[in-house]
Chain A
Amino acid sequence: MPPKARAALFHLVSVAVVAVFVVPGAWLVATSLRLPGLPPPTSIEWWPNPPAWSNYARVFELVPLARYAFNSLTVTGVGVVLATLVAAWAGFVLAQTPRAWHGFWVMAVLTVLVVPPVMLWWPRLWLYRDLGWLSSWLPLWAPALLGGTPINVLLFFWAARRVPADVIEAARADGASAWQVWRWVVWPLSRAAWVPAMMLAAVLFWGDSVSPLLYLRSTALATVPVGLDTLLQLDRSDWPILMAAVVLASLPPVLLLMAVQRWLWRGLDDLTRRD
């Protein structure tokens, strides 16, 4: 097949495949612009006429979404930094252990994933209550101690394993402490893991709907998922307003993905390049 026809075929199939993943989002945006209170549409509306931009303003009247968005951004920003640090440190330390242990560490981290979260919610509620953490964001940040998700620890573990041992030996011979080795050698060389890990953590903290509903005792601290939960009470014919809220709640992670995608795909090459 000539290269031009090959490329054309590639793009044709790719667009068809990607449409499955994108079209629901396009419907979501279209619905969010539909006038509330209308009868069901008779056919698919790709762009309502006239578009009801006022739905977006209504969301802010019905729930204090600006407040919730500020709270969510704070929780996510701090959470991502803490989670990434914890995961990067743990991954580095695991990679510094004798190679014979490495298979065991992967299994151990996977074991943490096997535990159903629903089993942990009551005991954690007691723990946070005893610590006096209810009515603060500390319960929402607590998962950062697990690296956001243990998968992040594995990501940094693999990245740290790729750092040549003699580079670390040389740094240690120069008298570098473990902290210095991590900060000046391993962390810069783990660049490949940065974006995937931060992305995973950001999605986790931003989308966390269980923790705020279980552990927050004050609406002033509530996050965006709580707002969605409140708007769920709207009548079906008013759902364009709810869909506007869904668009707003989805926007930050989508924008973040768009912003970091270059590094995500490039990091993939770094992570797996063979020496």
Chain B
Amino acid sequence: MRLTRCFNRYHAELAVLAAPFAVGVMVLVAWPLAQSLWLAFTQVDRVLPFPLGAWPNFTLLSIDPLVAIAVDNSLAFLRLAVPARLMLALALGLWFNTRQPGVNGYRTLVYLPTVLPDPAYALLWLWLVNPVYGPLNAVLAGLGVQPLAWLADPALAPLVFVLMTSLQIGEGLVVVLAGLKTIPPVLYDVARLDGASAWRQFTAITLPWLAPWLVLLSARDVALTLHSTFVANYLMTGGDPYYATLFLPLLVYEMLFDNGWLGLGSAAGGLFLALTGLLVGLVVWGVQAAQEVNDAT
């Protein structure tokens, strides 16, 4: 009897400690999300005076060419940015996973761009790629290459954002290093005794052991690269040139805040949420399935 009471009391105390986070999730995420999704099914902004089927906002989204452009841009960005970030974090993690003196200094310097405030990092890049004043074109001139228009060039502008995000991989580096440290060194000793090549050691030991860490990292990176372009996007291009850098967060923001289309913007936000959820889900599920196949064989 006494034991049960003790047990219950401890659980009640745990609940109190978890309360702030639980309240945060409910009040700052769940409730605003519910409101936003509810708005998506209303015509609060009366964009159109006539009814447009059962789901007017979603019908409008399907015929708005900017929505398709923003989805395409965001997906193209994702296809380049996520693999670039993962590969770089993995390569740097492997390279800096050593006991050489001075390695911590190098790791810290790689981490450096990651801690810069978003607006500062955006303004720095706006300067770097300035076609007239910026040092990147000066470097190209030194190499004898014609100056590039960077953010004014629809083909190059999205790549500037890929480049920017690819240098902010400090957290990825930490995750890869943490994952590498979980691998028992004895596995490599055995592999070497068996005469396994470095590549074979990488595919047979390193990658499988890193897999859970890489899943987590890629799931976070998919969400992060989709969501966090906003500040740089807003400050640097505003979606220009010719909508080449109109990514989903900016589109939703413009609908909601510039145009005041609460219903339509919320519907676009819902679409964005579904897309992120689908892609993160695919990453987690896909890697798990691959692992099961791997375990079975």
Contact = CB atoms under 8 A, between A and B. Distances in A.
Contacts of B36: 119-120, 122-123
Contacts, number: 269
A43 B142 contact: yes
A122 B256 contact: yes
Nearest to B164: A24
Contacts of B108: 257-258, 261, 264-265
A145 interface: yes
Contact of B21 (A27, A41, A123, A145): A145
Nearest to B100: A10
A14 interface: yes
Interface string B111-141: 1111111111001110110101101001101
A200 interface: yes
Interface of A is mostly: helix
A121 B142 CA distance: 45
A196 interface: yes
Interface stretch (A51-59, A63-71, A224-232): A224-232
Interface in B219-267: 219-220, 223-224, 226-227, 230-231, 235, 248-249, 252-253, 256-257, 262, 266
Size range of the interface on A?
35 or more
A86 B277 contact: no
Interface in B243-297: 248-249, 252-253, 256-257, 262, 266, 269-270, 272-273, 276-277, 280, 284
Given A89-B21, A118-B269, A264-B174, A207 B33 contact: no
Nearest to A22: B109
B55 interface: no
A112 interface: yes
A199 interface: yes
30 contacts: A13-B95, A21-B113, A24-B113, A31-B127, A40-B133, A43-B141, A43-B142, A44-B139, A44-B142, A93-B14, A94-B18, A110-B280, A113-B220, A115-B273, A116-B226, A116-B252, A118-B253, A119-B36, A120-B33, A121-B256, A127-B27, A143-B28, A145-B20, A145-B23, A153-B21, A179-B17, A207-B116, A236-B132, A254-B112, A274-B184
Interface of A: 7, 10-11, 13-14, 17-18, 20-22, 24-25, 27-28, 31, 40-41, 43-44, 85-87, 89-90, 92-94, 96, 106-107, 110-124, 126-127, 142-147, 151, 153, 172, 177-179, 182, 196, 199-200, 203, 206-207, 209-210, 224-225, 228-229, 232, 236-237, 239, 242-243, 246, 249-250, 253-254, 256-258, 261-262, 264-265, 268-269, 271-274
6 nearest CB pairs, A to B: A145-B24, A207-B117, A178-B13, A123-B32, A90-B21, A119-B269
Given A27-B135, A119-B269, 13 more contacts: A22-B112, A41-B138, A89-B21, A90-B17, A119-B266, A120-B36, A172-B6, A178-B16, A200-B171, A232-B235, A236-B130, A243-B123, A257-B115
